[in-house]
Structures are given as C-alpha cells and as structure tokens.
A and B are shown apart, each in its own frame.
Chain A
Amino acid sequence: NAGVTQTPKFRILKIGQSMTLQCAQDMNHNYMYWYRQDPGMGLKLIYYSVGAGITDKGEVPNGYNVSRSTTEYFPLRLELAAPSQTSVYFCASSPGREETQYFGPGTRLLVL
C-alpha cells in the first residue's frame, strides 16, 4: 500500500494564479481531509469528506474548493492564490469517524 500520496511536493504560485493539489489514498477509507499548517501552528481543517460525493467545510475553507467523485481521490483547488495561502498542506484519510487519520507527506506552497 502506498497509503496517502500528495502531489506536487512543492510549488511556487504567483498571486491570482490557480492550482489543484492532488491527494490519493489506496486504503479504501471513507473519510478524507485537507489541512493547512502555518509555521509554528497546528493543523487547521480546510475541508473534509465522509464519502464519495459528500464534502463539507472545515475551520478555514475560504479561498479553497474540493470535490470527491471517487473514494480514492480528494483534490483541493485554489482559485485565486493569495500570499495568505502560503502554507504546508496535508491530506489525510481515515477508515471511520473516530479513527486514526493517516497523513500524506504534504505539499509546500509558496504564493508570491
């Protein structure tokens, strides 16, 4: 099992550009999550999904969009990149509601 994979590892964006952060898991987990981690801070939940076709907002959803058409993939879309979105983004998956989350290696995003 590859677990949770994320691409790209690192990206530099100009203000106003858009991009999609990719996330895939091969564990057949129902729950998937996107977090951002700013320097010296904890993980803030952006969006999450409890199954294919179902998504919901987390703590910091503004400026992001998600979709979940299959169990395996949960891409995160940034439409108009802003410097405040400079962060490290982690995708995670979980088999159930109160279960351990498995994290990907992260995508480091720099918006200039």
Chain B
Amino acid sequence: DQQVKQNSPSLSVQEGRISILNCDYTNSMFDYFLWYKKYPAEGPTFLISISSIKDKNEDGRFTVFLNKSAKHLSLHIVPSQPGDSAVYFCAASGGTNAGKSTFGDGTTLTVKP
C-alpha cells in the first residue's frame, strides 16, 4: 500500500504560468511534509517543507498548501521558469515513521519557454 501518492507522472506548463503539483497521503500520523527537486544524474535537493500545524508555507516563488482533512498537499510555483524543469518528489514523515521519510513516485515538470 503506497502511503504517499503523486498521481500525475508528468506536467507541462508555459513559462510564466503557474505550476501546481499534487500529492496525497493515506497515513493520518504523518505530520511533516517536504518537497524535493531532482535533476537528472543528481541527488534530490530540498525545496520546501510544511508542518501539520500549518496550512501554508511560502518561500519565494514556491508555496506549499496542506489540507489535513483531505490528506492532500500541493506545491505551487509562480511564475514557472524553464530552470524549474525537473522531477519533484513529495515526502512525508511522522508517527511510527518519524525520522524516516516516505516518498511519492515523483512528477516530472517541464516548463516550456
């Protein structure tokens, strides 16, 4: 049973527009969520995180929204830039998984100039 799901394997947007990446989770004990970005042939790098006590966290062009009742989070990138083209992973931890992140399968974002 996959506890963290990213249902869209890929997303394509035009430069300057908004990119919205979605993530759903099933474990109600998860209380800390992160987004990582990965370029080909590199390791993932941290992008932004959110604790379950918040419903929004913003860092520059990146905003993460958390809807605990729906067990859903989303990453908004505004405005999208071609350099944002990468694979984005959602990760969650908490409860018996505290200190260990469970990752989704990733969404490949392509931003077209």
Contact = CB atoms under 8 A, between A and B. Distances in A.
Given A40-B9, A42-B104, A43-B89, A97 B98 contact: yes
A42 B43 contact: no
Interface residues of B, number: 26
B99 A50 contact: yes
Interface string A75-112: 00000000000000010101001101111111000000
A31 B99 contact: yes
Interface residues of A, number: 26
Interface stretch (B13-21, B44-52, B76-84): B44-52
B43, B94, B99 — most chain A CB neighbours (10 Å): B43
Nearest to B6: A42
Interface of A: 4, 31, 33, 35, 40-45, 48, 50, 58-59, 90, 92, 94, 97-98, 100-106
